[in-house]
Amino acid sequence: MFADTIIATFLPAGALSALYYADRLNQLPIGVIGIAVGTVLLPEMSRRLTAGDHVGAMEAQRRAFDFTLLFSVPFVAAFLAVPDVITRALFARGAFTRGDAAAAGATLAAYAVGLIPFVLIRSAVSTFYARKNTATPVKASLTGLAVNMLLKLLLMGSLAQVGLAFATAIGAWINLLLVLGFAVRAGYLELNRALTQSVLKFALVGVVLAAVLWLAAQFAAAHFGAMAGRDEAALLLLVAVGALVYGGSILALFGMRWLRKLV
């Protein structure tokens, strides 16, 4: 974000504001979900490893992944499918125009491409920190940062602040994939069938939710066009429809027993 802010000062007016407002929304699931779960996971893994329970430590990390994805997938689906509705409803008033909201929405969608690694990275590196290995996560982080900076310079001309946000997302994916790869190679993480199936199910639920949200947004645009507070009403509709569809999809694919076990 520090690099984005500096580079955005060389872009046309409005780029810096679009980055700021999009990042505020993107930071919500990162802080409330990703960092919170990772903070709780680290002492849990450390305690299990100290007791020699390596299997239990890996299981705790897999549960943390599931818990994080359960609450993060709706954000990813919404930020990718209907970012413009969100930014208009929250910010489009006063000097903040609908055009400004559209720019912030496009930037939010670019950030959302990397939201999954953003929320998972804190839990992913816990397996190294719990073993007092701080060098490996730093190597992965610096590699992702280098790619991030290179892409920013390449994309800022054609995509402006959206390119900066997209570069940040790609850098986050590289960081996470390297951390997971190092963890698997060291035997700290096992990509077993249960974890693979869980990720695939979450991906399917996310696609379904994104499609439903997009259709609901089209319905709102067609029927709320002339009313006052149409953007706020549209966002409330999306929240209600999304909650029903997501909750039903999770129960259908995972089942109540999985939810009870997770909690």
pLDDT tens for the chain, 263 residues long, are 788 888 888 888 889 999 999 999 999 999 999 999 999 999 999 999 989 899 899 999 999 999 999 999 999 999 999 999 999 999 988 889 999 999 999 999 999 999 999 999 999 999 999 999 999 999 999 999 999 999 999 999 888 999 999 999 999 999 999 999 999 999 999 888 888 999 999 999 999 999 999 999 999 999 887 777 899 999 999 999 999 999 999 999 999 999 998 87
What are the helix and strand counts (H, E) for the chain? 11, 0
pLDDT at site 91: 93
Q: What is residue 185's three-state secondary structure?
A: helix
pLDDT at site 1: 78
Contact 177, 171 (CB under 8 A): no
pLDDT at site 262: 83
For 85-147, give the DSSP string: HHHHHHH-STTS-HHHHHHHHHHHHHHHTTHHHHHHHHHHHHHHHTTT--HHHHHHHHHHHHH
pLDDT at site 227: 79
pLDDT at site 137: 96
pLDDT at site 129: 93
d(CA 232, CA 138): 42
pLDDT at site 77: 98
Tell me how far apart the 2 most distant CA atoms of the chain are, in Å.
Answer: 64
pTM of the full structure: 0.92
pLDDT at site 116: 97
Q: What is residue 248's three-state secondary structure?
A: helix
d(CA 67, CA 11): 39
d(CA 213, CA 199): 21
d(CA 229, CA 85): 12
